[in-house]
């Protein structure tokens, strides 16, 4: 398994470099106000994507009943198309009336939520079928390559005066990956013998709301900053956040690989072994990123433009926030896959409500650093609650703190 994790981490590393280059292009060659607008819109797109999946991506990921698997896929697609219709219309309304996006451009942006949603379903299918390489190569690496290509072409021929070219670039990249990936999945499903697919399988609503609060938590700072701060402050935060997300791809890949092994493990020693592999690789990746930010953060940010150098402290604190999440290990994965979804949902919801309350009450006294500090505290809180709950219920401590037990 270690070799598989290493290979997938290598692919994720290449994807991270390309993501860095993609955000470099967007921040360096587009005006600050367009980059800030792009970040605000994509926060809504990320939330829309989760709404279109209706929780089926988590259900497919952990589904083991082969006799009903075709029925699950059919149910997920029916629900996806119904949800996507509502999400598309709602997204157009939000973009036009709350973010002042041109109507025709908002139509393009509104397709990205469903595109990312169906991509999440495909990734879950790949992971369930032990095809993580295909998930990484098609849904991550190829998509990023295409985004970089189309953004570069748009800049060369049409310039950087409008965000319309950005929306069209993401649209083209996603639709090409959709066709390619669907071809491979269609061929594989045609060979599946998991029932006739006539029974409708309802989603796990707890898993759906967990996915929703997680993506809301990840995008909450951008949503709040877009309404409470200036465009330049939002852009500064976005550059730091995008850099962190690019580096986080390796950690997410490790987690994706570990999920099937954790689900199938019944022996405690084997579970701990798998958790240790993920913990050590994730901590190493986070420490490398944190060290890089402290040592070379200003130099890296200079590449994006002189106006973004002021985000160096924000970048350092976001890197610290990532490390705090990592030191708790696979608390989120274990809570989600071992039947403790309701408590996981409760703990994350508490942290979100606390974050919103603190920000709204004190935002007049906040600098950008304070927003990240609140995020660090809330991240620590829900992870700690999950860790305590797992320790009490199962006796397993997936965090780095077990080294001092």
What's the pLDDT at 187? 63
Of 229-243, 275-289, 353-367, which gets the smallest average pLDDT?
A: 275-289
**Which tens digits make up the pLDDT trace of 168-211?**
999 999 999 999 988 877 666 665 555 555 567 877 788 889 88
Give yes or no for residue 136 having a pLDDT over 90.
no
Q: Span 281-296, mean pLDDT?
A: 81
What's the pLDDT at 224? 93
Distance CA 57, CA 254 (A): 18
First and final C-alpha spacing in the chain: 27
Give yes or no for residue 65 having a pLDDT over 80.
no
Question: Is residue 89 classed exposed, middle or buried when 0-12, 13-18 and 19+ CB atoms within 10 A define those classes?
Answer: exposed
Report the half-sphere exposure of 278 (CA within 13 A, side-chain side): 30
pLDDT band per the 50, 70, 90 thresholds, residue 127:
confident
Whether the CB-CB separation of 32 and 231 falls below 8 Å is answered with yes
Q: How many residues does the chain have?
A: 405
What's the pLDDT at 321? 85
SS3 357: helix
Distance CA 235, CA 228 (A): 13
Q: Span 280-297, mean pLDDT?
A: 81
What's the pLDDT at 116? 95
Q: Span 34-58, mean pLDDT?
A: 93
**Which tens digits make up the pLDDT trace of 149-162?**
999 999 998 888 88
Whether the CB-CB separation of 381 and 354 falls below 8 Å is answered with yes
What's the pLDDT at 202? 79
Please state, rounded to an integer, the average pLDDT across all residues of the chain. 84
Of 59-73, 176-190, 211-225, which gets the smallest average pLDDT?
A: 59-73
Q: What is the pTM of this model?
A: 0.86
Most confident of 65-69, 217-221, 254-258: 217-221
Question: Is residue 196 classed exposed, middle or buried when 0-12, 13-18 and 19+ CB atoms within 10 A define those classes?
Answer: exposed
CA-wise closest residue to 346 among 210, 153, 162, 217:
210
Of 204-208, 262-266, 341-345, 365-369, which gets the smallest average pLDDT?
A: 262-266
Percentage of the chain exceeding pLDDT 70: 83
pLDDT band per the 50, 70, 90 thresholds, residue 11:
confident
Q: Span 65-79, mean pLDDT?
A: 78
What's the pLDDT at 53? 93
Taking every pair of Cα atoms in the chain, the longest distance, rounded to a whole number of angstroms, is: 61
Sign of the torsion formed by the C-alpha atoms of 133, 139, 144 and 145? positive
Give yes or no for residue 339 having a pLDDT over 60.
yes
What's the pLDDT at 4? 63
Of 127-141, 287-301, 333-347, 364-378, which gets the smallest average pLDDT?
A: 127-141
What is the number of other CB atoms lying within 10 angstroms of the CB of residue 25?
19
Higher-scoring residue by pLDDT: 128, 118: 118
Whether the CB-CB separation of 297 and 316 falls below 8 Å is answered with yes
Q: Which residues contact 41 (CB under 8 A, 6 or more apart)?
A: 95, 99, 101, 109, 163, 167
Distance CA 269, CA 11 (A): 29
CA-wise closest residue to 87 among 117, 43, 40, 48:
48
What's the pLDDT at 269? 59
Higher-scoring residue by pLDDT: 167, 257: 167
Give yes or no for residue 26 having a pLDDT over 80.
yes
Number of H helices, E strands in the chain: 15, 0
Q: Span 119-131, mean pLDDT?
A: 84
What's the pLDDT at 389? 93
Q: Tell me the CA distances in angstroms from 371 to 18, 25, 212, 226, 311, one per residue in order.
A: 28, 26, 21, 13, 13
Whether the CB-CB separation of 144 and 186 falls below 8 Å is answered with no
Question: Is residue 53 classed exposed, middle or buried when 0-12, 13-18 and 19+ CB atoms within 10 A define those classes?
Answer: buried
Give yes or no for residue 284 having a pLDDT over 60.
yes
What's the pLDDT at 160? 87
Q: Span 302-320, mean pLDDT?
A: 90
pLDDT band per the 50, 70, 90 thresholds, residue 226:
very high
pLDDT band per the 50, 70, 90 thresholds, residue 3:
low
Of 107-111, 210-214, 243-247, 272-276, which gets the smallest average pLDDT?
A: 272-276
Whether the CB-CB separation of 212 and 51 falls below 8 Å is answered with yes
Higher-scoring residue by pLDDT: 350, 337: 350
Domain boundary assignment for the chain: 2-404
């Amino acid at each position: 398994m270690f070799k598989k994790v290493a290979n997938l981490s290598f692919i994720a590393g290449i994807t991270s470099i390309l993501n860095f280059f993609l955000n470099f292009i967007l921040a360096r060659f587009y005006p600050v106000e367009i980059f800030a607008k792009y970040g605000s819109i994509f926060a809504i797109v990320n939330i829309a994507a989760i709404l279109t999946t209706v929780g089926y991506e988590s259900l497919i990921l952990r589904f083991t009943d082969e006799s009903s698997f075709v029925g699950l896929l059919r149910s997920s697609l029916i629900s996806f198309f119904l949800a996507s219709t509502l999400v598309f219309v709602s997204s157009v309304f939000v973009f036009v009336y709350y973010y002042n996006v041109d109507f025709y451009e908002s139509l393009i942006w509104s397709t990205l939520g469903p595109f990312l949603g169906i991509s999440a379903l495909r990734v879950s299918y790949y992971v369930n079928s032990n095809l993580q390489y295909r998930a990484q190569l098609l849904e991550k690496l190829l998509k990023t390559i295409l985004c970089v290509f189309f953004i570069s072409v748009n800049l060369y021929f049409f310039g950087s005066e409008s965000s319309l070219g950005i929306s069209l670039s993401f649209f083209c990249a996603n639709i090409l990956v959709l066709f390619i990936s669907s071809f491979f999945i269609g061929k594989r499903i045609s060979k599946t013998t998991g029932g006739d697919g006539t029974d409708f399988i309802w989603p796990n609503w707890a898993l759906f709301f967990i996915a929703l609060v997680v993506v809301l938590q990840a995008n909450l700072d951008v949503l709040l900053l877009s309404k409470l701060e200036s465009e330049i402050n939002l852009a500064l935060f976005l550059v730091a956040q995008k850099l962190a997300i690019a580096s986080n791809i390796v950690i997410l890949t490790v987690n994706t690989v570990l999920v099937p092994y954790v689900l199938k493990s019944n022996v405690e020693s084997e579970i701990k072994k798998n958790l240790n592999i993920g913990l050590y690789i994730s901590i190493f990746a986070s420490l490398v990123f944190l060290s890089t930010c402290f040592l070379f953060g200003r130099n890296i940010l200079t590449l994006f433009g002189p106006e973004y150098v002021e985000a160096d402290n924000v970048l350092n604190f976001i890197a610290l926030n990532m490390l705090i999440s990592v030191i708790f290990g696979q608390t989120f994965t274990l809570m989600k896959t071992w039947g403790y979804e309701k408590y996981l949902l409760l703990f994350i919801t508490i942290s979100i409500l606390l974050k919103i309350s603190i920000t709204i009450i004190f935002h007049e006294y906040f600098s950008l650093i304070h927003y990240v500090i609140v995020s660090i505290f809330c991240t620590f809180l829900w992870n700690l609650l999950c860790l305590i709950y797992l320790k009490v219920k199962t006796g397993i401590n997936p965090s780095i703190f077990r080294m001092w037990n």
